[in-house]
């Protein structure tokens, strides 16, 4: 009888054009705004118009954690 019930670990990510080893693909999901300009995978997108036309995610300012929003002094 064959064992039809198996479980394997899966991971996914984006593999940039500049990658020499696809093992680091899972780390390419998010790019912090502070380091996006120095990472090779995001540098060309920042130079082009794609990120300036609101197609790339931007860092939101003024968003706070919900811990003290309901408290007033």
Express each pLDDT in 26-64 by its tens digit.
Answer: 666 666 666 777 777 777 777 765 555 455 555 555 545
Q: When comparing pLDDT for 25 and 68, which is higher? A: 25
Where does 1-73 have alpha helices with state H?
Answer: 40-47
User: CA-CA distance, 57 to 62, in Å (whole number)?
Assistant: 16
Report the predicted TM-score, pTM, of the whole model to 2 decimal places: 0.34
The SS3 call for residue 67 is coil
Question: What's the chain's Rg over C-alpha atoms?
Answer: 20
For residue 3, CA distances in Å to 7, 9, 10 come to 11, 17, 19
The SS3 call for residue 8 is coil
The SS3 call for residue 46 is helix
């Amino acid at each position: 009888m064959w064992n039809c019930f198996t479980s394997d670990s899966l991971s996914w990510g984006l593999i940039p054009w500049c990658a020499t080893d696809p093992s680091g693909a899972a780390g390419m999901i998010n790019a912090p705004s502070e380091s996006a300009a120095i990472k090779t995978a995001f540098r060309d997108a920042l130079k082009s118009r794609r990120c300036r036309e609101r197609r790339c995610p931007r860092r939101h300012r003024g968003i706070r954690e919900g811990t003290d929003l309901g408290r007033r002094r």
